[in-house]
Amino acid sequence: MTGRSVLAAFCLSFLATGASADTATLLGTYKDWGAYQSSANGRKMCYVLGKPSASEPKKAKRDPIYFMISDWPARKARAEVQVIPGYTYKEGGAVTAQVGAEKFDLFTQGDKAWVEDAGQEKSLVAAMEKGAKVVVTGVSQRGTTTHDTYALGGISDALNKVHEACGM
């Protein structure tokens, strides 16, 4: 994961939502995850970002793919999960994140997905901290089913750094 590709994904995410983002600061790299701090519209945010270790189908044309967990102190929001699949999701299509035997449903809006039941968000993050991998399955607007596998090595340390940096 390069700093430039992470910053590009972060900026594109905020530009798509109409917010402005300052330059992201790398707080540290923890195996498969990077910890970052930035601000959007003058509000501090901290986040961990991971790229998939494997993506299927391999020949699918996609923009960069990320799994992001963010803290927003101004909103008192801790560990919000967001998936950026590198394509636009099929409207009304199902997206899941699976860690071991635990499966979590996500809802989509355009080219992003979030945990459907906010009460399950904490459970997903806890499962990720204990697990070896998370597999995100979704369907593109064109009907292609994708499976992105993220290795979870270092995620606990990255999350601890983010929570510390944002005071959460």
Cβ-contact 134, 67 below 8 angstroms: yes
Examine the pLDDT at 15 and tell me if it is beyond 90. no
pTM of the model: 0.85
- At 159, is the secondary structure helix, strand, or coil? helix
Examine the pLDDT at 19 and tell me if it is beyond 80. no
Summary mean pLDDT of the chain: 88
φ, ψ of residue 107 in degrees (nearest 5):
-110, 155
Select the more confidently predicted residue: 42 or 98. 98
Number of C-beta neighbours around residue 77 at 10 A: 15
The CATH homologous superfamily to which domain 3-165 belongs is: Invasion associated locus B (IalB) protein (2.60.40.1880)
At 40 the pLDDT is 76
At 38 the pLDDT is 95
At 4 the pLDDT is 30
Comparing CA positions, the residue from 92, 117, 86, 93 lying closest to residue 103 is 117
Confidence of residue 58 (pLDDT cuts 50, 70, 90): very high
Confidence of residue 8 (pLDDT cuts 50, 70, 90): very low
Q: Name the E strands within the chain.
A: 25-30, 33-40, 43-50, 54-56, 66-72, 77-84, 95-99, 102-109, 112-115, 133-139, 145-151
At 21 the pLDDT is 57
Cβ-contact 125, 39 below 8 angstroms: no
Q: Specify the DSSP class assigned to residue 87.
A: S
Which residues are within 8 A (CB) of 166 and not within 5 positions of it... i.e. 6 or more apart? 37, 44, 45, 46, 71, 72, 73
Tell me the per-residue pLDDT of 73-121, one tens digit each, with 9 for 90 and over: 999 999 999 999 999 999 988 899 999 999 999 999 999 999 998 889 9
Residue 136 tokens, joined: 């995100």
Comparing CA positions, the residue from 129, 30, 142 lying closest to residue 81 is 129
Q: Where are the domains of the chain?
A: 3-165
